Amino acid sequence: MDERRFTPAAGRFAPVRLYDPVVALTRERLWRSLVAMHVAPRPEDVVVDVGCGTGSLAVLLNRVEPRATVIGVDPDPEALAVARRKAAAAAVAGGTPGGTTEWRVGMGDEVAAIVGAGTADTVVSSLVLHQCPVPMKRAVLAAMHETLRPGGKLVIADYGKQRTAAMRLAFRFVQLADGKADTQPNADGVLPRLIAEAGFENVRESETVATLTGSLSLYVARRS
């Protein structure tokens, strides 16, 4: 595996600028709101968004709690440029009294080194792991575990087990864009097991959302 390879936000064939219009078709406001509900950021919290892409979730979380520090990490500088513009437009980038949104370039398996081991109250990630080869899914989850303080929370939103024929059919669009090898383990329901194997406790699938591109699952877990 080339550990430094990554699939860009809009998939293998489309430019990053198409990502936001496409992800809007996934009932985005619903599932991002559910993620925000589970993260429930508090003042002084450090929240790390792994694979933050164009920054929609990080910006939303900082809007929910401007006194939290939200750090977005992504390997794609082009996506981070969009995130910076989005944060500036939302007037959260450094301009919100007491609150900060920061952006760092890096892969998910490097996140503990990038933001510091044991520093995050919550690690969040959306629509990233389905784009990663299984060894990278494992490495990213291990790095997320290392990044959290003891008792910290993990919230992941991603394509999970595709339980119906309609959802399996819908998910083919994602598989075309992102490749079958990396996406099929998610569709087979591998994530809860990988999250537990990374050392997390109380792993549960708390929500599922049927979308035009397949079924999204929210997974929550704790670092003990």
Ligand X SMILES: C[S@@+](CC[C@H](N)C(=O)[O-])C[C@H]1O[C@@H](n2cnc3c(N)ncnc32)[C@H](O)[C@@H]1O
> How many residues touch ligand X (CB under 6 A)?
25
Angle formed by the axes of helices 180-187 and 134-147, nearest 10°: 60
Output 50 or 142, the one with its CB closest to ligand X: 50
Q: For residues 31 and 37, give the distance between their C-alpha atoms in angstroms, rounded to a whole number.
A: 10
Instruction: Report whether 182 contacts 131 (CB < 8 A).
Output: yes
Output 33 or 202, the one with its CB closest to ligand X: 33
Angle formed by the axes of helices 165-178 and 180-187, nearest 10°: 150
Output 74 or 207, the one with its CB closest to ligand X: 74
Q: Does 133 bind ligand X (CB under 6 A)?
A: no
- The residue within the footprint of ligand X, chosen from 128, 174, 198, 220 (CB under 6 A), is 128
Tokens of 119: 């520093």
- Nearest by Cα to 219 from 148, 127, 143, 147: 127
Print the binding letters for residues 88-127 with ligand X: x by CB under 6 A, - otherwise.
-------------------xx-----------------xx
Output 45 or 158, the one with its CB closest to ligand X: 158
Q: Does 75 bind ligand X (CB under 6 A)?
A: yes
Instruction: Report whether 70 contacts 62 (CB < 8 A).
Output: yes
Which positions touch ligand X (CB under 6 A)? Answer: 6-9, 23, 50-54, 56-57, 74-76, 79, 107-108, 126-128, 131-132, 136, 140
